[in-house]
Amino acid sequence: MLQVDTVLEGSVRRQNDQLRIHVQLVNVHDGCHIWGGRFERRLTAVFQLQDEIAATIVAALKMELPRHLVKSSRVIDPEAHALYLKGRYWWHRWNPEALRKAASFFQQAIERDPSCAGAYSGLADCLLLQGFYGMEDQKR
Residues 44 and 17 placed together within one structural domain of the fold: yes
Residue 138 falls inside a structural domain: no
Residue 30 falls inside a structural domain: yes
Residue 112 falls inside a structural domain: yes
Residues 31 and 62 placed together within one structural domain of the fold: yes
Residue 140 falls inside a structural domain: no
Residue 139 falls inside a structural domain: no
Q: How many CB atoms lie within 10 A of CB 22?
A: 14
| pLDDT, tens only, 64-112 | 556 655 555 566 788 999 999 999 999 999 888 999 999 999 999 999 9
Residues 61 and 104 placed together within one structural domain of the fold: no
pTM of the model as a whole: 0.50
Q: Which domain holds residue 27?
A: 6-69
Residues 12 and 65 placed together within one structural domain of the fold: yes
Domain total of the chain: 2
| pLDDT, tens only, 23-59 | 998 888 888 888 888 888 887 777 788 888 888 877 8
Residues 48 and 94 placed together within one structural domain of the fold: no
User: Among 69, 90, 114, which residue terminates a domain?
Assistant: 69
Residue 137 falls inside a structural domain: no
User: Among 69, 86, 113, which residue terminates a domain?
Assistant: 69
User: Among 50, 69, 88, which residue terminates a domain?
Assistant: 69
SS (H, E, C) 66-124: CHHHCCCCCCCCHHHHHHHHHHHHHHCCCCHHHHHHHHHHHHHHHHHCCCCHHHHHHHH
